[in-house]
Amino acid sequence: MSLKSVPRPADADLEARPREGAGRPRARRRAPGQERAVRPTTVVPTGVERRFGEDEVIVTKTDLQGRLTYANDVFLRVSAYPEEAMLGQPHSMIRHPEMPRCVFRLLWDTLREGRELFAYVINLAGDGAHYWVLAHVTPSRGADGTVIGYHSNRRLPSASALAEIRPLYARLLQEEARHARPADAIAASTRLLEAELAERGLDYDRFLWSLAGSARTAPAARAALGSAA
Ligand SMILES: Cc1cc2nc3c(=O)[nH]c(=O)nc-3n(C[C@H](O)[C@H](O)[C@H](O)COP(=O)(O)O)c2cc1C
């Protein structure tokens, strides 16, 4: 899988820019997956880790902008939000500050190409607790084959996978922190991720499956996660 960044439209950000002929700055619209300079949630992480059952699946669906259209009971319980607080909100509601931006860039680039992605994600619950997931995110298609939204199924990740992912994400975050502009931060951490994968002689998919367990093939693991197509 390629990790190359797809250039974004220059006007799709939240920076306030003076409008020609207008007296005051105006917030520009941000494309989904376009990284913002400010975190969208004010929830403060408590450092408390929340787990969920090995037999449970956390499910959400979104529209094309990444706004929640469906959340199952497991998601609502683990994320500590009532359904009415979540539906219609951007998925970044549960973004944890320890998630590297480059992983979300990879997620959105992959979805926009009509492909699925597996990713380890740490999420921030409404009460400040955090929880790790192995997510399988796919485009959802309508009867005519066009993409009408996105779907994510998440399972509890193994301790051995997290033992590798936590320090990797910490290195990516550290790299991102060296850059003031989000775009520079993503470019730099994407290069670092590519370098780390190259060192291991793996592409992103193979790396993920090496963590999930070498005996599991991608289709078998996909079945274990539950098809999100
Ligand atoms: C189907 C789907 C599921 C997503 N699940 C999560 C999630 O569990 N946690 C998360 O932080 N972002 C998730 N995202 C990505 C968010 O849309 C967003 O890109 C991310 O939180 C980064 O937000 P930011 O760019 O505003 O920082 C998901 C996106 C889609 C389309």
* CA of 58, closest atom in ligand 1: 8
Q: Is the pLDDT of residue 133 over 50?
A: yes
Q: How many domains does the chain have?
A: 1
Taking the centre of ligand 1 as the mean of its atom positions, its distance from the CA of residue 124, in whole angstroms, is: 11
Q: Evaluate whether residue 187 is within a structural domain.
A: no
Nearest CA to ligand 1 atom 10: 95
Chain mean pLDDT for the chain: 84
CB neighbours of residue 227 within 10 Å = 12
Look up the CATH number of the domain holding residue 116: 3.30.450.20
Domain that holds residue 114: 40-157+215-225
Closest by alpha carbon to 75, among 60, 93, 87? Answer: 60
**C-alpha–C-alpha distance, residues 15 and 181, integer Å:** 11
Query: Which pLDDT score, from 0 to 100, does residue 29 have?
Result: 55
What pLDDT score does 3 carry?
60
b/e map of 152-176 (b: 16 or more CB within 10 Å)? Answer: bbbbbbeeebbeebeebbeebbebb
154-171 pLDDT per residue, tens? 999 999 999 999 999 999
Tokens read off for 158: 């193994």
How would DSSP label each residue in 80-102? T--HHHHTTSBGGGGB-TTS-HH
Domain assignment present for residue 14? The answer is no
Q: What is the largest CA-CA distance in the chain?
A: 63
Query: pLDDT digits over 42-72, tens only?
Result: 899 999 999 999 999 999 999 999 999 999 9
β-partners of residue 60 are 71, 152
Does residue 29 sit within a domain? no
Atom of ligand 1 nearest to the CA of 154: 8
- pTM greater than 0.85: no
Query: Which atom of ligand 1 lies at the shortest distance from residue 99's CA?
Result: 11
CA-proximal residue: ligand 1, atom 5 (nearest): 91
